[in-house]
Chains A and B, each alone.
Chain A
Amino acid sequence: MSDNRISVAKTYKLYVDGKFPRSESGRTYPVTDSKGAFLANASHASRKDVRDAVVAARKAFGGWSGATAYNRGQVLYRVAEVLEGRREQFAAEVAASEGLPARKAQSVVDAAVDRWVWYAGWTDKIATVLGAANPVAGPYFSFTVPEPTGVVGVLAPQESSLLGLVSVVAPVLATGCTAVVVSSADRPLPAITLSEVLATSDVPAGVVNVLTGKASELGPWLASHGDVNALDPTGAGPLGRVEIAREAAGTVKRVLAVPEDEPDWTRRPDIARLRRYLEPKTVWHPQGV
């Protein structure tokens, strides 16, 4: 390989409904590394892209939530396998985006793959853990099963471009919800590459939709959208979160309580995120002959 070779300049696109469209607005913005050097152009998603992504996510919800938990687990394990295969690329992008030394970046990527595997394994266990047979005082069989809440808007962390991203997207998918993700604005490359991974594993179109752009611009549209059921405002920042939470009240959305600052994503998560995207449904039936 010659040092003089002119590289192919990249303009990345959005990932919506299993396809890679440009932003409806036609806008792009330059992405740089942590030192300000140009990396690529990314699509700058608009509110109409949000609209299209929500339509895609809603369309995909029935199939994804209706798939067996085992099947969802298989699909998510498959994603982990493809992630693993792109370790080098992710490590380079994480290093560039986050300004991490190669070794550190590599360990972040490994943690991200492991995180994905951890959530993949939850698909067919979470209902056992959160569900219940209710010993009601009467001749009824009553049980409670957690069911996915629907379409989740995810404002991904701004800092942790891969591990943080995976930590907020994987639980959405594990529960059977579908996602509209707004990536880190300044560090979108790992999200874009993740889109390519998702597109080439067995994740059905529309289950995850990835928009690159500004959480502050797109978050309120997600928050007020009548067909979005829940919202993770992590990437909105403390100020943005207030506005988003207010907007979300108009349709009684579930809004995740998130810490002021990005948490240490390397810490092992608990199942709180899974719980937030699940609706306990209680079913009653008489017992008689």
Chain B
Amino acid sequence: MATPTLPAELSDATRDETSLRRFLHGLPGVDQVGVEQRAAGLGTRSIKKGSKLWAIDTAISMVDLTTLEGADTHGKVRALAAKARRPDPDRPDTPRVAAVCVYPDLVSTAVGALTGTGIGVASVATAFPSGRSSREVKLTDVALAVNSGASEVDMVIDRGAFLEGRYGQVFDEIQAVKEACAAAGNTAHLKVILETGELATYDNVRRASWLALLAGGDFIKTSTGKVSPAATLPVTHVMLQAVRDWYVSTGELRGVKPAGGIRNTKDAIRYLVAVHEVAGPEWLTPSLFRFGASSLLNDLLLQRRTQLDGHYSGPKYVTVD
């Protein structure tokens, strides 16, 4: 399982199941009260004026505009793609979002609508959201997504295996998906969804984060959005700390994506403050931080208008897609 480019203590960690287990369980614990307090403390940062506008624009550019419903249609996806291209039709200077995120069978529709825009197409895969299927089915799912043109794959880890302590299996599966992302000349980035709401403890979030990073995930992502709680600030803190620690150990920058439950600008800015102060300013870019969200975008647009117009805006001035 070893990845040759890593420093010895990390490549040794993935030598076998026992080493992996020992490594993950040797990570420092996370004190729940401490991390929640830190998150709440940073949450009191007051971001005003120019710094707020900067944050809003940056947040918009980090949105993975998402629709993951059984009722999704080609029309819905095209509408979303249109929104991604021109989030605020009245204000063409509004940044575009980072990507549109859809189920694999709708990837080709999204790709068709976004070709040439620079906006990514992300697809959930690996029997999203539960991840409960065979490896074969999961990889077929991934192949469908990447062969349809997805530039990013959001996989789910096997939480059952993780909670059973079969870390090697989770690791192997992430690696296999990573390989599938690169199969047949594809270059899809891999986001690994930990589904932190099912991992129950911050210690597990930290272990799962490292597991995903060791296995080659380009991003670690909190949630599917289908499980409550989805993204929370303290969970994101733990994951941001993990990518920072990873960077300190390896020199590599990996990304973080909170998803689900981030609905308004205030929340988004709290996340950006956490990115800024926990991971570091280098992470304040769509290539290293994303928001998995749908309704967030419109609130960002409303707040953007408020900032620029000097008065409050209303929901009728932004598009419903």
Contacts and interface: CB of A to CB of B under 8 A. Distances in A.
A287 interface: yes
Interface stretch (B26-34, B131-139, B149-157, B162-170): B26-34
Q: Is the contact region of chain B dominated by helix, strand, or loop, or is it mixed?
A: helix
Query: Interface residue tally of chain B, by bracket?
Result: under 10
A269 interface: no
B200 A289 contact: yes
Contacts of A289: 32, 200-201
B201 A140 contact: no
B34 A286 contact: yes
Nearest to B34: A286
A191 B98 CA distance: 87
B33 A139 contact: yes
A288 B33 contact: yes
Nearest to B200: A289
Q: Is the contact region of chain A dominated by helix, strand, or loop, or is it mixed?
A: loop
Nearest to A288: B32
Nearest to A289: B201
Contacts of A139: 32-33
Interface string A264-289: 00000000000000000000001111
B33 to A, nearest CB: 3
Nearest to B32: A288
A139 to B, nearest CB: 5
A286 B33 contact: yes
Contacts of A287: 33
A237 to B, nearest CB: 54
A17 B102 CA distance: 81
Interface string B32-53: 1110100000000000000000
B307 to A, nearest CB: 36
Interface in A135-158: 138-140
A286 B38 CA distance: 14
16 contacts: A138-B33, A139-B32, A139-B33, A140-B33, A286-B31, A286-B32, A286-B33, A286-B34, A287-B33, A288-B31, A288-B32, A288-B33, A288-B36, A289-B32, A289-B200, A289-B201
CB-CB nearest 6 A-B residue pairs: A288-B32, A286-B33, A288-B33, A139-B33, A289-B201, A289-B32
